[in-house]
Chain A
């Protein structure tokens, strides 16, 4: 089915380890986003990419890096994981500013840092 695919679905890391969360969309969307969801905090934007080749910081970018590899793929990297990064991570995409503003979300990556 068309949509946003995130891998992995679950991951446990030790403090200080690094990992990359992968995201790919097959809807030819221009914009892609990474959010984290924490209990009582809602969805907070980490980074976004308005178009291929551009990335910008969101509300909570510290401790993360991103790469917009091509139009389809947008990865999120944790260089040195910390327990505070335990969260559920969602990738999303949209057509961009000229769309009906609806985002399509992936099913999430549940990350635990011990």
Chain B
């Protein structure tokens, strides 16, 4: 059973608009959430994270929102740029102190010029 779900495999947006990437999780023990970005032929790179004690974390154009009651988080990219085109993975950590990340299947974002 998949514990971290990214139900939309892809998203296409226009440059300058907002990109919203969604992620749901099922395990209430998760207490830390991360987003990774992956370009073709490269390894994933850490983008932004949020602790379960917060509901929002910002870093420049990237904001992650967490709704614990709904077990849902989202990544907002504003404004979107063509260089943001990549696969984005949502990941979760917790399960009683475990340091193993559990990843979603990923979502391919395409930002059109």
Which residues from chain A sit less than 8 Å from chain B, CB to CB? 4, 31, 33, 35, 40-45, 48, 50, 58, 90, 92, 94, 96-97, 100-108
A105 touches B44 (CB 8 A): yes
B59 within 8 A of A: no
Given contacts A4-B43, A43-B89, contact A31 B106 (CB under 8 A): no
CA distance A112 to B106 in the complex (A): 22
Given contacts A41-B105, A108-B42, A108-B43, contact A102 B99 (CB under 8 A): no
Which residues from chain B sit less than 8 Å from chain A, CB to CB? 6, 9, 32, 34, 36, 41-46, 49, 89, 93, 97, 99-106
The residues of A that contact B101 with a CB separation of less than 8 Å are: 33, 45, 101, 103
Given contacts A42-B89, A42-B104, A58-B100, contact A103 B46 (CB under 8 A): yes
The residues of B that contact A92 with a CB separation of less than 8 Å are: 43
Cross-interface CB contact of A101 among B9, B93, B103, cutoff 8 Å: B93
Measured CB to CB, the closest approach of chain A to B32, in angstroms, equals 5
Cross-interface CB contact of B100 among A4, A45, A104, cutoff 8 Å: A45
Going nearest first, the 7 A-B pairs with the smallest beta carbon separation are A105-B43, A42-B105, A43-B103, A102-B46, A97-B99, A42-B103, A107-B43
Measured CB to CB, the closest approach of chain A to B77, in angstroms, equals 19
The residues of A that contact B6 with a CB separation of less than 8 Å are: 42
Given contacts A41-B105, A101-B93, A102-B34, contact A48 B100 (CB under 8 A): yes
CA distance A29 to B85 in the complex (A): 30
Name 5 interchain pairs, CB-CB below 8 A, sorted by A: A42-B104, A43-B103, A97-B99, A101-B34, A101-B49
The residues of B that contact A107 with a CB separation of less than 8 Å are: 41-43
Given contacts A101-B32, A101-B49, A101-B93, contact A33 B43 (CB under 8 A): no
Given contacts A48-B100, A58-B100, contact A102 B49 (CB under 8 A): yes
